[in-house]
């Protein structure tokens, strides 16, 4: 297989991108904020080959999903590997050729992490607004990259030994293309189209941070479920002692308990058709309380229905985390 092109003079010229496939080297690196994918710093010597441009697309896609991925991962994209580690809300990502040693790759990322944490405090990284506001960190990235692209110059054999043992004990998570999705816009296992109610999300889909009202709703829903459960057991005792209570009352109490607990689940976790399920659950709570009208006073009925409506509203307000802004990573 020839890795080049024939020139007009009849000679054979090797492509730079073809040479990269045969060489073992780090090509670029980026520092990205985990929560929203904001690029904080990056190496400025990107190759312009087709393969590298494709990898930049994967960089963007990964940066939007960092909060949903483990803290040490690898994505294999044919001739290139993308490795990254995340710590303290910041991710350190690098692109290297497929034959670059894993232990060197993660040792390189570990050095970037230690230097970045030492140079910049968390307050600065958390409050950063502009992309690449720490672009001066590129100087350290370049120096470190040059060292790691010439392993003979490395003087960190002990550290490499430690990193090798760490990778052996806790190997990086291998991200599949199915999980990531394709650069052509195929939905990945980590993404959700919130406009399409029929699409099922992955278990890794995250919701927006819980608010104080959401926490209050969760506690009130648990309280209503506990009250229904207690009344249900009392109804069973009453039924066993004397046939005064209708068995359907027992069913209504336990259905009310299940509905309240399911509301708690919907408030905490993302599922397909989540909003529809929350309205149906609220409807079940209303039906149960209508049937229990003779056993409860108006204030009790009002409390249970109001809590159900309040929790339904909180479920509707706490949606899945939206797509991160499209920063030019």
Q: What is the pLDDT of residue 205?
A: 60
Structure tokens, 221: 């829903």
Structure tokens, 102: 């894993």
Q: Hunting for tokens 């919701």 — which residue is that?
A: 207
pLDDT in tens, 256-283: 999 999 999 999 988 888 889 999 999 9
Least confident of 243-247, 286-290, 302-306: 243-247
pLDDT in tens, 190-202: 343 333 333 333 4
CATH 1.20.120 for the 212-317 domain, yes or no: yes
Structure tokens, 108: 């390189």
For 135, the 3-state DSSP assignment is helix
Closest CA to 136 of 268, 10, 42, 259: 42
Average pLDDT in the chain:
78
Provide CATH code, domain 26-179: 3.30.450.50
Q: Compute the distance between CA of residue 285 and CA of residue 100 in angstroms, rounded to an integer.
A: 59
Q: Hunting for tokens 């309240």 — which residue is that?
A: 260
Q: Compute the distance between CA of residue 48 and CA of residue 15 in angstroms, rounded to an integer.
A: 12
Judged against a pLDDT cut of 70, whether residue 186 lies above it is answered with no
Domain boundaries, the chain: 26-179, 212-317
Judged against a pLDDT cut of 80, whether residue 314 lies above it is answered with yes
φ and ψ at 132, to 5 degrees? Answer: 60, 35
Angle at 155 between CA 142 and CA 145, to 5 degrees: 15
């Amino acid at each position: 297989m020839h890795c080049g092109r024939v020139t007009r003079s009849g000679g054979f010229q090797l492509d730079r991108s073809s040479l990269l496939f045969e060489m073992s080297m780090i090509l670029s690196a980026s520092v990205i904020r985990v929560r929203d994918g904001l690029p904080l710093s990056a190496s400025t010597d990107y190759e312009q080959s087709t393969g590298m441009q494709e990898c930049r697309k994967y960089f963007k896609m990964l940066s939007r999903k960092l909060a949903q991925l483990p803290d040490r991962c690898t994505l294999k994209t044919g001739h290139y590997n993308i490795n990254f580690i995340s710590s303290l809300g910041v991710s350190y990502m690098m692109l290297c050729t497929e034959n670059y040693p894993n232990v060197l790759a993660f040792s390189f990322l570990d050095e970037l992490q230690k230097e970045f944490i030492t140079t910049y405090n968390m307050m600065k990284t958390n409050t950063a607004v502009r992309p690449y506001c720490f672009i001066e960190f590129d100087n350290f990235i370049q120096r470190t990259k040059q060292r790691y692209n010439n392993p003979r110059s490395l003087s960190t054999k002990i550290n490499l030994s430690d990193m090798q043992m760490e990778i052996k004990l806790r190997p990086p998570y291998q991200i599949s293309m199915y999980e990531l999705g394709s650069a052509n816009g195929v939905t990945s296992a980590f993404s959700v189209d919130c406009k399409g109610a029929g699409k099922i999300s992955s278990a890794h889909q995250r919701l927006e941070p819980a608010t104080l009202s959401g926490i209050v709703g969760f506690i009130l829903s648990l309280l209503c479920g506990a009250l229904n459960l207690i009344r249900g057991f009392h109804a069973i005792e009453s039924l066993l002692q004397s046939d005064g209570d209708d068995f359907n009352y027992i069913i209504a109490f336990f259905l009310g308990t299940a509905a309240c607990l399911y509301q708690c689940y919907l408030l905490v976790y993302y599922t397909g058709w989540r909003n529809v399920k929350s309205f149906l659950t609220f409807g079940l709570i209303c039906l149960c309380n209508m049937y229990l009208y003779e056993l409860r006073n108006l204030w009790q009925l009002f409390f249970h229905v109001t809590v159900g409506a309040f929790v339904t509203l909180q479920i509707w307000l706490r949606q899945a985390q939206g797509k991160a802004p499209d920063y030019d990573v």
